[in-house]
């Protein structure tokens, strides 16, 4: 669907086909918010971007619209591509600080770990690449989830999700999200009930919007590039081997 089609369908479902109650500018603003919400739930649209790291610098700055980094690879000077499980692994930032607390002071070399720091909009390489490993143009490739480009208000033919063809069957998700948001403006019980019909905010009790989200989730994978990991350190226990100190055997007797 194009922007004009989306606006018309939203107006029809709202019983406001002439946009008397809700102007097209309000509808467009909410259609853009709906695009972002779909990406938040599904990570459906992904983009691969190449970055050239700076020698002796851990941080590689990504674009302002990047929401998350799902995968990353690193190309070595000899052309070898390091991937997850083969020399270039993702790590949670808190896990990194826990397991490798001295990482900011490590000597530059071949990066073997990466993490995404959304607060600074940087992919952090550990260790920082030295001159040889930063000399390859586009050495770092990242699979990104980005904020979709806003629909062009100057073109009625603007298509959501950056005109991604795979997302065309799911454009109705934007309509349902927008209709629900507009109905909330009325603040009466009937409108609020209808708003919940279109968007419940609960995947277990889905409204029409969540039904679309479920279909997207069935079609597209939703990877998390850096899975969380429970952190722990051994502090002793009740069991121990002969000769091994423990709470139950403090002197290490056999």
SS3 206: coil
Which range is least confidently modeled, 102-116, 130-144, 151-165, 183-197? 151-165
Query: What is the C-alpha separation between 31 and 37, in angstroms, rounded?
Result: 10
Mean pLDDT, to the nearest integer, of 134-153? Answer: 93
pLDDT score of 74 more than 80? yes
| Residue 107 predicted with pLDDT over 70 | yes
pLDDT value of residue 155: 83
- Mean pLDDT over all residues of the chain? 89
The string of pLDDT tens digits covering residues 195-238 is 999 999 999 999 999 999 999 998 886 555 555 555 555 555 55
Percent of the chain with pLDDT over 70: 87
Q: Tell me: pLDDT of 251 over 80.
A: no
pLDDT tens digits, one per residue of 45-65: 999 999 999 999 999 999 999
């Amino acid at each position: 669907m194009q922007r004009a089609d989306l606006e018309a369908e939203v107006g029809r479902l709202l019983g406001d086909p002439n946009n008397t109650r809700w102007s097209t500018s309000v509808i467009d603003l909410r259609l853009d918010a709906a695009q972002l919400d779909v990406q938040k739930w599904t990570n459906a649209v992904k983009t691969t971007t190449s970055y050239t790291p700076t020698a002796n610098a851990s941080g590689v700055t990504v674009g302002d619209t990047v929401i998350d980094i799902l995968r990353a690879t690193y190309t070595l000077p000899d052309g070898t591509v390091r991937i997850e499980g083969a020399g270039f692994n993702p790590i949670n930032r808190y896990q990194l600080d826990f397991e490798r607390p001295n990482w900011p002071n490590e000597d530059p070399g071949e990066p073997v770990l990466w993490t995404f720091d959304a607060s600074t909009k940087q992919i952090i390489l550990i260790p920082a690449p030295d001159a040889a490993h930063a000399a390859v143009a586009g050495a770092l490739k990242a699979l990104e989830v980005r904020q979709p480009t806003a629909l062009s208000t100057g073109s009625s033919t603007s298509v959501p999700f950056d005109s991604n063809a795979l997302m065309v069957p799911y454009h109705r998700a934007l309509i349902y999200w927008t209709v629900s948001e507009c109905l909330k403006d009325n603040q009466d019980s009937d409108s609020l009930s209808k708003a919940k019909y279109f968007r419940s905010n609960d995947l277990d009790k889905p409204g029409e919007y969540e039904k679309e989200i479920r279909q997207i989730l069935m079609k597209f994978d939703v990877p998390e590039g850096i899975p969380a990991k429970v952190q722990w350190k051994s502090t002793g226990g009740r069991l121990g081997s002969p000769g091994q100190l423990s709470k139950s055997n403090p002197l290490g007797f056999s």
